[in-house]
Amino acid sequence: MANAIETLVLGGGCFWCLEGAFKVLPGVQGIVSGYAGGSAENPSYEEVCSGETGHAEVVRVDFDPTILAMGRLFDLFFVIHDPTTRDRQGADVGPQYRSIVLYADEGQKAAALEAMARARAGREAPIVTEILPLGDFWPAEAYHQDFFAKNPNYGYCRAVVAPKIKKALAFAATQSRPATEWGA
């Protein structure tokens, strides 16, 4: 019997960063960079960057919960980006770079809120991550898909994406318990 694949939609800065970081995790079955959380139908990158559509750059992460628990994904999400900065991650500024979780059901919402509570520990600044129901998800243009894998020597990838991937690998290495025992 095949395992049921689950899906999360998350935004925390440039989708190239999240895609690269989540892609290295065991249990991740697929990732699509895209746009969500806005009002326009099938927006383009240029429209999203204008700030007029309300969309965020997000990734849709398909994962096997028997290998990688949803709570682990949410915990990593709060580790690899700064959830305390509104509408920015580093030099990437604008509402399209906001920290956002778009949940498909109440279980995802509860898991996101639990992970956010864990992420608050030891932080002085408040977490500003939006947790909202998932509406439409629009895949980004083809050139945004697998961007780091195709462009590892691109300056942004070396300076911004690669350190997030290292952080993701370090985080994953600290998680030795089976998915069913941690962060479900």
User: What are residue 62's DSSP bridge partners?
Assistant: 7, 30
- State the maximum Cα–Cα separation within the chain, in Å, rounded to a whole number: 46
Catalytic residues: 14
d(C-alpha 76, C-alpha 46), whole Å:
29
d(C-alpha 116, C-alpha 78), whole Å: 7
pTM: 0.91
By CB neighbour count within 10 A (0-12 exposed, 13-18 middle, 19+ buried), where does 122 fall?
exposed
Strand partners, 92: 89
* pLDDT tens across the length of the chain (184 residues): 456 999 999 999 999 999 999 999 989 999 999 999 999 999 999 999 999 999 999 999 999 999 999 999 999 999 999 999 999 999 999 999 999 999 999 999 999 999 999 999 989 999 999 999 999 999 999 999 999 999 999 999 999 999 999 999 998 888 655 544 444 4
Domains, the chain, ordered by start: 6-181 (3.30.1060.10)
The residue type of 117 is A
**Residues 94, 87: Cα–Cα separation, whole Å:** 5
What pLDDT, on the 0 to 100 scale, is given for residue 184? 41
Q: What is the pLDDT of residue 176?
A: 57
Strand segments, DSSP code E, in the chain are 6-12, 28-36, 56-63, 88-89, 92-93, 99-103, 130-133, 137-139
What is the reported pLDDT for 2?
57
Note whether 62 and 29 are within 8 A (CB): yes
Please compute Rg for the chain using Cα positions.
15
